Amino acid sequence: MKQNIMQKVKIPTTYLNLSYYLNKYVHELPAPPLDPKTKQPIGPAALARLFPMELIKQEVTLDEFVPIPDEVRELYAMYRPSPLLRAKRLEEALGTPAEIYFKYEGVSSVGSHKLNTALAQAYYNKREGVGMLTTETGAGQWGSALALACKLFDLKCKVFMVKSSYEQKPYRKTVMHLYGADVSASPSRETQAGRSFLAKDPHTPGSLGMAISEAIEVAATTDGAHYALGSVLNHVMLHQSIIGLEAKEQLAREGAYPDVIVGCCGGGSNLAGVSFAFLADKISGKKPNLRVVAVEPDACPSLTKGEYRYDSGDTAGMTPMLKMYTVGSDFVPSPIHAGGLRYHGDSPLISFLYYKKLIEAVAYGQREVFEAAQLFAQTEGIIPAPESAHAIQQVIVEAKRAKEEGKKKVILFNLSGHGLLDLGAYEEFLSGRMKG
Ligand SMILES: *Cc1c(COP(=O)(O)O)cnc(C)c1O
């Protein structure tokens, strides 16, 4: 059994659109984004202030496949196809009969899956004549990805970074600066939204919801600027589908197909990425028993404890209202280290799948997640991003259950990024100072 199953698969030429398969739920599904003021479905014209037309089309398309532009595929070749690896030594350490495979997105130039959509978004904006992109970032992974993508397509990049991460993770700021982006801690004094958040609480650690409000305000008030979002929206899920398309082909070469797929879930993009190519089989009836599990932190439990309803994507109420599982757009999660999982809502697609019980969700505390990360580092060598470590914790639970049941099941998970810029968090864990 080869442990690195990278050989021979090609970078896909199209993304896979799960909405095509969900069309059979058409009587329930169209829960379109609503205008925050009128509460009426929002039209393409209103979105065009923030996004290029091609991405707006991708947001609503029901085509099964969407072509990947050659320019984007060429840049993907810097790091794709990403390896599919078998976690043999983790299996042995757990004494499990389960086979554990993982897709490793930490090989991307910026260390996470976020570059898959950053490159596509920068490309479509550039092609429509945009000169600058604004965005928010939590832990800094999305900001780094967009900063690099903007540099490669010669766009300016302005990033609002959640203040608690800005302070805890200074090196991500350095990465963004190195790629040429302008970075501010959010909430900042540069925007009306930022100033109003600070007036309410001068010591707020910030949140993704606040940073999104600031980034949108700058995009909406600056000529030639657009806004880019690193998760949640349908077009982001679409771009990330490349992960599962590759994984499916890589696993097929081993004659394997997953019984269970696990991904951590902040906005839902890496989970969508690894699972959608397989969920297409479940929804179309070919693999009815496939399980997909979303893993979130218990500090921000949007799927496991949230409500399924329309909510704003940001704190100031500037984004379209999205139908999603949410803990509330004014929720400020405690500053845990998995910054990328601190979003109050979830992608409308992931939310719908959860609502229809096509996927499951679980939540874990920080310390058990870091224990799982340490076991993974000590067996497989890779130090996972704290976000990805949530998936590993659930994989360990699944593998132990397989052992108890004496079942040989195939587990696939997404290792969405590496944790080499998260050593401060690991230091806190090792010293015993980490909170639950
Ligand atoms: C951003 C991020 C996440 C969380 O975002 P999703 O959209 O849920 O994938 C998870 N892992 C890593 C490494 C990230 O950078």
CA distance 310 to 307: 9
Alpha helices in 65-140 (DSSP H): 70-76, 88-94, 115-127
Atom of ligand 1 nearest to the CA of 141: 15
Angle at which helix 234-253 crosses helix 348-355, to 10 degrees, equals 70
pLDDT per residue as tens digits for the range 94-120: 999 999 999 999 999 999 999 999 999
Task: Name the CATH architecture for the domain at 6-12+70-111+234-431.
Answer: 3-Layer(aba) Sandwich (3.40)
* Tokens representing residue 52 in the block: 């290029």
> From ligand 1's centre to the CA of 111, what distance in Å?
11
Domain boundaries, the chain: 6-12+70-111+234-431
Q: Which amino acid is at 142?
A: W
Answer whether 69's CB lies under 8 Å from 55's CB.
Answer: no
For atom 5 of ligand 1, which residue has the closest CA? 266
Atom of ligand 1 nearest to the CA of 269: 7
Give the per-residue pLDDT at 7.
60
pLDDT per residue as tens digits for the range 153-189: 999 999 999 998 898 888 999 999 999 999 999 999 9
Answer whether 81's CB lies under 8 Å from 10's CB.
Answer: yes
DSSP assignments along 383-430, one per residue: -B-HHHHHHHHHHHHHHHHHHHHT---EEEEEE-BB-TT-HHHHHHHH
> From ligand 1's centre to the CA of 142, what distance in Å?
8
Atom of ligand 1 nearest to the CA of 273: 9
Answer whether 165's CB lies under 8 Å from 135's CB.
Answer: no
Atom of ligand 1 nearest to the CA of 341: 4
Cα distance between the two ends of the chain? 38
DSSP state of 34: B
> From ligand 1's centre to the CA of 355, what distance in Å?
21
Answer whether 193's CB lies under 8 Å from 211's CB.
Answer: no
CA distance 212 to 41: 21
Give the per-residue pLDDT at 359.
98
Give the per-residue pLDDT at 334.
81
Ligand 1 pocket: which residues have CB below 6 Å? 112, 114, 141-142, 231, 264-271, 340-341, 385, 387-388, 416-417
Output the pTM of the full model.
0.96
Which residue of 109, 148, 236, 269 sits with most ligand 1 atoms within 8 Å of its CB, as the best mutation to test the pocket?
A: 269
**Hey, is 200 helix, strand or coil?**
helix
Atom of ligand 1 nearest to the CA of 105: 13
List of the chain residues with pLDDT < 70: 1-3, 5-7, 26-30
Which residue of 137, 341, 350 sits with most ligand 1 atoms within 8 Å of its CB, as the best mutation to test the pocket?
A: 341
For atom 3 of ligand 1, which residue has the closest CA? 340
Q: How many residues does the chain have?
A: 436
